A and B are shown apart, each in its own frame.
Chain A
Amino acid sequence: MPILGIIASSKAVAVPNSYESISTVTVGGGGSASVSFTSIPATYTHLQIRAIVKSNGGQDSLDLTFNGDTGSSQYTYHSLYGNGSSAGTDVSRPRANIPTDITMVASSDTSMFSAGVLDILDYANVNKYKTTRVLSGFNTNGSANGTAVFLSSGLWMSTSAVTSITLTGRATNIGQYSSFALYGIKGA
């Protein structure tokens, strides 16, 4: 039985040995207001952050900035989401950060974490602005905090190479056992 071309061309996930672990942060007891990756080398083509995330208080959002840039008009954001009953979209521009859509699940939802994969494409290219994309979601099995799955994108309007990444809880600290792993992906 033939495999359709579009499927065949998208089967490869990553070429082994082109994908390297750069650094991992796991949040300790008491939580942390933010998590940062600094001194990111420019030796890769793309970056990827793989995370599980929780709040140490109420359900919250996790925002991203690059290179310490918190300028109020440096970022834009678009999102497509499903909350279990309806689909929706969101946009915000300009703004001072990129909402990652990797939800910080409330501490009251015991043991439940969101999961997310965030890609930063062509992060070291100094000739263009930087684009992010995220697939993320959380499910609380019917708690009042609900559920959602997100496909979102962000833009940093800077041609600077990304050398640092900061992820910050919007209103609460990032909770214990939240984990963020940064990987570098090399091109051919």
Chain B
Amino acid sequence: MASTYEKIATNTLGSAAASVTFSSISGAYTDLKIVVVTGQNPLNNAITWQYNSDTGNNYSNNALIGTGTSAISTNANTQPRISGFGDLGSSALSSLIKIDINNYSNTTTYKTAIGRFDSIPKGRAAVNVGLWRSTSAITSIAFSFENGTDNFSSGSTFTIYGIKAA
């Protein structure tokens, strides 16, 4: 039996990698929370994620970004991935990303994720909402950069937690 709030897995990169995937995610929880501490090299593209290997244009996202001098909001519909935070600004392990995916395993609703992003080198704090237009339970989540070739820095940690409601 799953406990209320528990770590499912952690992936600490021993070397730079272009993608990180959590697969075979159990449906035993109600919500997922993912915490990422990472950096990026080179800095060409935005960090993104996809569910269940779905590369179709089934995603959309909206972000609110504070740059230190202004607040801006962006939106992208009918995309092949969720993004919205831009590049990470540094190869140092100085970007923090937290993502909540509520009711990830139900097969009735599309899946909405809300996320937070903080990067000191980038000078940004941001929040976003991402929609996946699928009623499938989420069983895998893959992180990469938009061009597929930028790398997450060695030492990056990706941790996924499960939260189970009564």
Chain A contact residues, CB within 8 Å of chain B: 1-4, 6-7, 10-11, 13-14, 16-17, 19-24, 50-52, 54, 80-87, 111-117, 135-142, 147-149, 151, 177, 179, 181, 183
Contact = CB atoms under 8 A, between A and B. Distances in A.
**Chain B interface mostly:** strand
Contacts of A87: 64, 70-73
A6 B106 CA distance: 35
B63 A149 contact: yes
Contact of A1 (B35, B61, B103, B154): B154
26 contacts: A1-B39, A1-B91, A1-B153, A7-B37, A7-B95, A19-B5, A19-B163, A24-B165, A52-B109, A52-B112, A82-B62, A82-B63, A83-B62, A112-B109, A113-B109, A137-B129, A138-B131, A139-B62, A141-B60, A141-B78, A147-B75, A148-B62, A177-B106, A179-B165, A183-B163, A183-B165
B114 A137 contact: yes
Nearest to A142: B77
A105 to B, nearest CB: 9
Contacts, number: 185
B102 interface: yes
Nearest to A141: B60
Interface in B144-162: 153-155, 157, 161
A137 B127 contact: yes
A183 B4 contact: yes
B101 to A, nearest CB: 8
A120 to B, nearest CB: 17
Contacts of A112: 109-110, 112, 131, 133
Given A1-B39, A50-B163, A16 B60 contact: no
B109 A177 contact: yes
Interface residues of B, number: 62
Contacts of B108: 111, 177
Given A80-B64, A80-B71, A137-B112, A111 B129 contact: no
Contacts of B19: none
Interface of B: 3-7, 30-31, 33, 35, 37, 39, 60-65, 70-75, 77-78, 91-96, 98, 100-103, 106, 108-110, 112-114, 116, 118, 120, 127-131, 133, 135, 153-155, 157, 161, 163-166
Given A14-B5, A138-B129, A142-B78, A115 B113 contact: yes
Contacts of A115: 100-102, 112-114, 129
Nearest to A112: B110
A11 B165 CA distance: 23
Given A3-B155, A85-B73, A137-B127, 13 more contacts: A1-B39, A1-B154, A1-B155, A7-B95, A13-B35, A16-B6, A82-B62, A84-B62, A86-B72, A111-B109, A139-B112, A147-B62, A149-B73
Given A85-B73, A87-B64, A21 B164 contact: yes
Contacts of A137: 62, 112, 114, 127-129
B71 A111 contact: no
A6 to B, nearest CB: 7
B50 to A, nearest CB: 16
Contacts of A114: 112
